A and B are shown apart, each in its own frame.
Chain A
Amino acid sequence: DIQMTQSPSSLSASVGDRVTITCRASQSISRYLNWYQQKPGKAPKLLIYAASSLQSGVPSRFSGSGSGTDFTLTINSLQPEDFATYYCQQSYSTPRTFGQGTKLEIK
Chain B
Amino acid sequence: EVQLVESGGGLVQPGGSLRLSCAASGFTFSTYWMSWVRQAPGKGLEWVANIKQDGSEKYYVDSVKGRFTISRDNAKNSLYLQMSSLRAEDTALYYCARDRALYCGGGTCYFSFDYWGQGTLVTVSS
Chain A residues in contact with chain B, CB under 8 A?
Answer: 1, 31-32, 34, 36, 38, 43-46, 49-50, 55, 87, 89, 91, 94-101
The one of A31, A49, A96, A100 in contact with B47, judged by C-beta atoms closer than 8 angstroms, is A96
> Smallest distance from the beta carbon of B121 to chain A beta carbons, Å?
12
Shortest CB-to-CB span from A1 to chain B, Å, is 8
| Cα of A18 to Cα of B109 in the assembled complex, Å | 32
B47:A95 contact, CB within 8 angstroms: yes
Which of A45, A49, A101 interacts with B44 by CB under 8 Å? Answer: A101
Report yes or no: B112 in contact with A44, Cβ–Cβ below 8 A. no
A100/B44 in contact, CB under 8 A: yes
The distance from the CB of A100 to the nearest CB of chain B, in whole angstroms, is: 5
Contact A91 B110 (CB under 8 A): yes
Binding site for A on B (CB under 8 A): 35, 37, 44-47, 50, 59-62, 95, 102-103, 110-114, 116-119
Closest to A91 in B: B111
Q: What does DSSP make chain A's interface, helix, strand, loop or mixed?
A: loop
Contact call B117/A44, Cβ cutoff below 8 A: no
Q: Across the interface, do B59 and A94 meet the contact criterion of CB distance under 8 Å?
A: yes
Cross-chain pairs A/B with CB under 8 angstroms, 25 sampled = A32-B110, A36-B45, A38-B45, A43-B95, A43-B116, A43-B117, A43-B118, A43-B119, A44-B95, A44-B116, A45-B116, A46-B113, A49-B114, A55-B112, A87-B44, A89-B45, A89-B112, A91-B111, A94-B59, A95-B61, A96-B35, A97-B47, A98-B44, A98-B45, A99-B44
> Who on chain B is nearest to A100 by CB?
B44
In contact, A91 and B116 (Cβ under 8 angstroms): no
